[in-house]
Amino acid sequence: MNGSPPPFHNAIVGRLAARFDAAGWEALTGQALIGETSGGESTADLAVATAEAIEGDPSPLPADRVALVGEVVSSGQDGDYAEKRKWYARSGIPLYLLVDPHDGLIELYSRPENLTYRRVAPYRFGDAVDLPEPFSFSVDTSLFRVYPPEAVRWDRNPEFLRDVRIPPAPDEQKPQTDHMIQHIPHSAPRYTPCPIPPPTLKELQDTDDAGRPLEPFTAREDGVPVHCVGSPLRCCLRDIRPGERIALVSYAPLRRWAAATGAEPGAYCELGPVFIHAGACDGPDADAAGYPFARAGALRTVRRYNTDGQIAGGRFFEIPEDAESGFDAVFDEAFADPEVALVHVRALEYGCFQYEVRRP
């Protein structure tokens, strides 16, 4: 990044450093590290080591002498924290604390193995972050502050200044055109799309249904590391927005449903990839109208399951202009069969699960 990070960033680094310092550790800010196993160098916002580990003042500090490394995501730009995480994991640094003041989220990575950390524990600002041995204390994050909104951010870079968008005064606002979305009153859909419920989301954020630890990343328009902006989030049934912290996890919707109902679907259980929020999720927007991801012309399969969790038919369909009536009709058709207990709505091309609808 260019120049000094902003005050909120530095304040968090300072508070973290003070906590480790108070516990008798050496807290090194802006520390250059060198990796013997990983090769190359990296500069960490915070590197924590024992007094013995920095004996002789080695510079850059060998990464294998570091007990914990910390990064605070910078405002205004999104550095490649996935690359840093790989480097820290490959260097064998036992703990990596990633603080994201955009969303007020904290992730503690542990158990480095090859290019990744096998475990991640998510926290929010305000939580006490429990550190394992050799620390065995917690970090109070109640004074961490989230970044203010983009428009009020200040930077000396003139390119950046040109980019700051100031909302027009009310009388300068463009008149509403035919192309803009009209709020047309309509009846509510007849069926309820079920998002991944919050307790399940919490479990998936720890370990997914394939036993994998969460690998969160920031959604970027440029497709790094995964092209995901606009893809469906299954925890809140809306599209992914740029800048959100998300993860791609394996999810077994039928197994989850069966665990709650006592059904035994056996071989019918399937595991598939879904995007979820990597941290806090407010669930579906209370103002959201109609069925989610209901773009006219998109192709869907609606797969039906009976009370035992076995497939009981299905159909594919193209979402019509009047998406709500179209979905109402296919769900009517599905539940007209008294055997059908629930349906899965999936994208036709890849078969990815989008949401389930249960018999009303």
Residues that bind Zn ion in the complex, under the rule CB under 5 A: 233, 235-236, 277, 281
> In this structure, are residues 340 and 312 in contact, taking their beta carbons and an 8 Å threshold?
yes
Q: How far is residue 357's CA from residue 105's CA, in Å, rounded to a whole number?
A: 31
Amino acid at 127: D
Residue 58: exposure state from Cβ atoms within 10 A (0-12, 13-18, ≥19): exposed
